């Protein structure tokens, strides 16, 4: 297993330089025997430049999306495809299946995701982390949240113990909400304010479990999230790109949870599990 992890980490590191300014498309899905310019097993979300060749083996498949247009190509093998300015050509002359989407991403977030994935795999291959069982706040504790009614979660020494939940707007002395809750979770009944920084604490058995801070997105950003949120039965690439959008917006914890769901679905793509860490 360690050898596999080290090999995958090396593949990720090798892929990072491919995330360059001349990248015009990126890989949104792959299954089976897929290679780029003769190099097997490209990394999910890695960028492609004009002129690069994508080879897809028998009973294999890859999906490629152009950054500027959001147009996605579904590539099935056996076949070889060449990345052109705004499309892909096929060695057999048969054009690949396409679909128009509203997704738009950036080279910057693609590079960021690749580096995060590579660093996570390196850490996992260096040593097996011990399970974290310490009492602490779990969500939301950093970055922004893409909802105005988050379900606050924490881990107490006694899971059944009742805790005292307090929520405040940063800079104000009076709490905006206080309640007693058990079971390690609580959902505030009223919506929070958009584009506002909050702080929250939980006290259990007389001890403060922790304190966390987060910020809500703007009304415009929240509306965009709601509009673009795919169903559980949506295309894999739609759910992948929604997760990428959350990451780009700064909703790091929600993105991690989404990466984890995708990783459970696609155990053949270990980079997803790395991004969930």
Residue 268 lies in a domain: no
| Strand ranges (E), the chain | 23-31, 34-36, 39-40, 47-49, 53-56, 61-66, 72-76, 79-83, 88-90, 97-99, 136-139, 144-145, 151-155, 163-169, 177-181, 185-187, 197-204, 207-216
Tokens (6 digits) for 217? 């997105």
Q: Please tell me the number of Cα atoms within 13 Å of 6 on its side-chain side.
A: 5
Residue 242 lies in a domain: no
Q: How sure is the predictor about 94, in pLDDT bands with cuts at 50, 70 and 90?
A: confident
Q: What are the C-alpha distances in Å from 6 to residues 1, 10, 263?
A: 9, 6, 19
C-alpha to C-alpha distance for 224 and 246, rounded to whole angstroms: 11
Q: Are residues 164 and 115 located together in one domain of the fold?
A: no
Q: Are residues 152 and 187 located together in one domain of the fold?
A: yes
Q: How sure is the predictor about 118, in pLDDT bands with cuts at 50, 70 and 90?
A: low
Q: pLDDT: is 202 or 16 the higher one?
A: 202
Helix (H, G, I), strand (E, B) or coil at 82: strand
Residue 7 lies in a domain: yes
Domain that holds residue 66: 2-126
Tokens (6 digits) for 33? 């025997």
Tokens (6 digits) for 132? 């974290």
Q: Are residues 112 and 56 located together in one domain of the fold?
A: yes
Domain boundary among 164, 185, 216: 216
CATH number, domain with residue 141: 2.60.40.10
Q: pTM of the entire structure?
A: 0.85
Query: What are the tens digits of pLDDT across the range 16-30?
Result: 434 444 799 999 999
Q: Are residues 37 and 93 located together in one domain of the fold?
A: yes
Arithmetic mean of pLDDT, 213-238: 95
Q: How many domains does the chain have?
A: 2
Q: Are residues 121 and 164 located together in one domain of the fold?
A: no
Q: What is the DSSP string of 177-194?
A: EEEEE-TTEEE-SSPPPT
């Amino acid at each position: 297993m360690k050898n596999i992890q080290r090999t995958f980490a090396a593949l990720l590191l090798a892929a990072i330089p491919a995330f360059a300014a001349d990248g015009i498309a990126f890989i949104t899905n792959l299954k089976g025997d897929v290679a780029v310019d003769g190099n097997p097993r490209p990394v999910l979300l890695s960028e492609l430049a004009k002129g690069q060749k994508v080879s897809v083996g028998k009973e294999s498949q890859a999906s490629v999306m152009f950054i500027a247009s959001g147009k996605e190509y579904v590539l099935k093998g056996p076949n070889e495809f060449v990345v052109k300015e705004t499309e892909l050509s096929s060695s057999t002359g048969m054009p690949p299946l396409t679909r128009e989407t509203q997704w738009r991403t950036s080279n910057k977030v693609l590079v960021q995701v690749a580096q995060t994935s590579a660093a996570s795999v390196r850490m996992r291959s260096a040593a097996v982390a011990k399970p974290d069982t310490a009492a602490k706040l779990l969500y939301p504790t950093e970055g922004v949240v893409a909802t105005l009614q988050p379900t606050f979660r924490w881990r107490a020494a006694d899971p059944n113990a009742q805790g005292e939940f307090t929520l405040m707007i940063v800079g104000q002395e009076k709490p905006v909400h206080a309640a007693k809750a058990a079971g390690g979770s609580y959902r505030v009944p009223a919506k929070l304010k958009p584009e506002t920084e909050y702080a929250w604490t939980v006290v259990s058995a007389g001890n403060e479990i922790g304190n966390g801070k987060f910020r809500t997105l703007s009304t415009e950003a929240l509306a965009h999230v709601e509009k673009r949120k795919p169903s559980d039965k949506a295309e894999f690439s739609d759910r992948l790109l929604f997760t990428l959008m959350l990451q780009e917006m700064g909703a790091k914890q929600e993105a991690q949870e989404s990466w984890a769901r995708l990783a459970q679905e696609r155990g053949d793509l270990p980079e997803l599990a790395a991004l969930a860490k």
